[in-house]
Structure 1
Amino acid sequence: MNLKQYTKEFSYNFRLAYPIILGMVGHTLIGIVDNIMVGKLGSTELAAVSLGNSMVFIAMSLGIGFSTAITPIVAEGDAEKNDPKIRSAFHHGLFLCAIIGLMLFGVIVLAKPLMELLEQPKEVIVLAKPYLDWVAFSLIPLVMYQGYKQFADGKSLTKYSMYAMIMANVLHVGINYVLIYGIWIFPKMGIIGAALGTVISRIFLVTFMHIMLSRRNDLKHFFKDFSFSEIKSATLKKIINLGFPSAMQMLFEVVLFTASIWLCGNIGKTSQAANQIALSLSSLTFMFAMGLSVTSMIRVSNQRGLNDFKKLVVVARSIFLLAIIIETVFAILFVTFHDFFPHIFLNMENGGQVLDNTEVIAIASKLLLIAAIFQISDGIQVVVLGALRGLQDVKIPMYITFVAYWIIGFPISYYLGEHTELKAQGVWIGLLAGLTAAAIFLYIRFHYLTKRLITNSVSNS
Structure 2
Amino acid sequence: MNLKKYTSEFKNNIRLATPIMMGSLGHLLVGLIDDIMVGRLGAVELAATSLGNSIFFITLSVGLGFSFAITPLIAESDGEGDKEKGRSIFQHGIILTAIIGLVMFIALLFLKPILYHLDQPEEVVVLAIPYYEIVAFSMIPLMIFQGFKQFADGLSQTKYAMWATILTNIVNVILNFTLIYGFWIFPRLELVGAALGTLISRTVMVFFIYIVLMKKDKFTIYLKRLKFEELKKERFLKIINLGFPTALQMLFEVGLFTASVLLAGTLGAFPQAANQIALKLASTTFMIAVGVGVAATIRVGNQKGLKNYFELRRIAFSNFLMIFIIMFAFAIGFIVFKDFLPLIFTENLEVIKIASSLLVIAGLFQLSDGLQAVILGALRGLQDVNVPSGLTFIAYWIIGFPISYYLGTKAGFGTFGIWIGLLVALTSSALLLFIRFNYLTNKLIQEKNGIT
Structure 1 length normalisation: TM-score?
A: 0.97
Residue 368 (str. 1) matches residue 359 (str. 2): yes
Please say if 1:378 is aligned against 2:383: no
Asked if the contact 2:72–2:383 (Cα under 8 Å) also holds between the matched residues in 1, the reply is: yes
Residue 230 of structure 1: how far off its partner (Å): 2.4
Q: Is the 8 A contact 1:294 1:386 kept in 2?
A: yes
Deviation, 1:226, is: 3.5
Confirm whether residue 391 of structure 1 aligns to residue 388 of structure 2: no
1:338 paired with 2:338, answer yes
Q: Contact 1:300–1:316 at 8 Å: present in 2 too?
A: yes
> Quick check: 1:26 aligned with 2:26?
yes
Tell whether the 8 Å contact from 2:120 to 2:265 is kept in structure 1 after alignment.
yes
Shift of 1:63: 1.2
| C-alpha separation in 2, matches of 1:91 and 1:183 | 42
- Deviation, structure 1 residue 59: 1.2
Partner amino acid, structure 2, of 1:171: V
Residue 460 of structure 1, CA deviation: 8.0
1:184 aligned partner: 184
CA contact (8 A) 2:77 2:83 kept: yes
Deviation at 1:229, TM superposition (A): 3.3
CA distance in 2, matches of 1:384, 1:330: 19
Over aligned residue pairs, what C-alpha RMSD do you find? Answer: 1.0
CA–CA distance in 2 between the matches of 1:330 and 1:266? 30
Q: Does 1:37 align with 2:37?
A: yes
Residue of structure 2 in register with 1:116 after alignment: 116
* Aligned residue in 1 for 2:319: 319
CA drift of 1:225 comes to 3.0
Matching residue of 1:400: 391
Range moving further from structure 2, 276-285 or 117-126 = 117-126
Task: For 1:36-55, list aligned pairs within 5 A.
Answer: 36-55=36-55
Given that 1:109 and 1:132 are in contact with CA atoms closer than 8 Å, whether structure 2 keeps it comes out as no
CA contact (8 A) 1:25 1:284 kept: yes
What is residue 449 of structure 1 aligned with on the other side?
440
Moved over 2 A (4+): 225-230
Unaligned runs of 5+ residues in structure 2 are none
| Counterpart residue type for residue 315 of structure 1 | I
Aligned to 1:172: 172
The letter for the 1-side match of 2:398 is: I
Tell me which residue corresponds to 2:430. Answer: 439
Kindly indicate whether the alpha-carbon contact (under 8 Å) linking 2:102 and 2:140 is maintained by their aligned counterparts in 1: yes
- Kindly provide the amino acid, as one letter, of the partner of residue 415 in structure 1: Y
3-state SS of the aligned residue for 2:112? coil
CA distance in 1, matches of 2:253, 2:228: 34
Aligned to 1:69: 69
Query: Is the counterpart of residue 425 in structure 1 residue 407 in structure 2?
Result: no
Which residue of structure 1 aligns with residue 153 of structure 2?
153
Q: Does 1:194 align with 2:185?
A: no
What is the CA–CA distance in structure 2 between the aligned matches of 1:59 and 1:209, rounded to whole Å?
23
Counterpart in the other structure of 1:9: 9
TM-score (norm 2): 0.99
Q: Which amino acid aligns with 1:41?
A: L
Is 1:85 the counterpart of 2:85? The answer is yes
Output the amino acid matched with 2:416. Q
Residue 365 of structure 2: SS of its match in structure 1? helix
Q: Deviations over 1:41-89 (max 9, x none)?
A: 1111111100000111111111111101000110011011101110011
Q: Does the 8 Å contact 2:92/2:231 carry over to 1?
A: yes
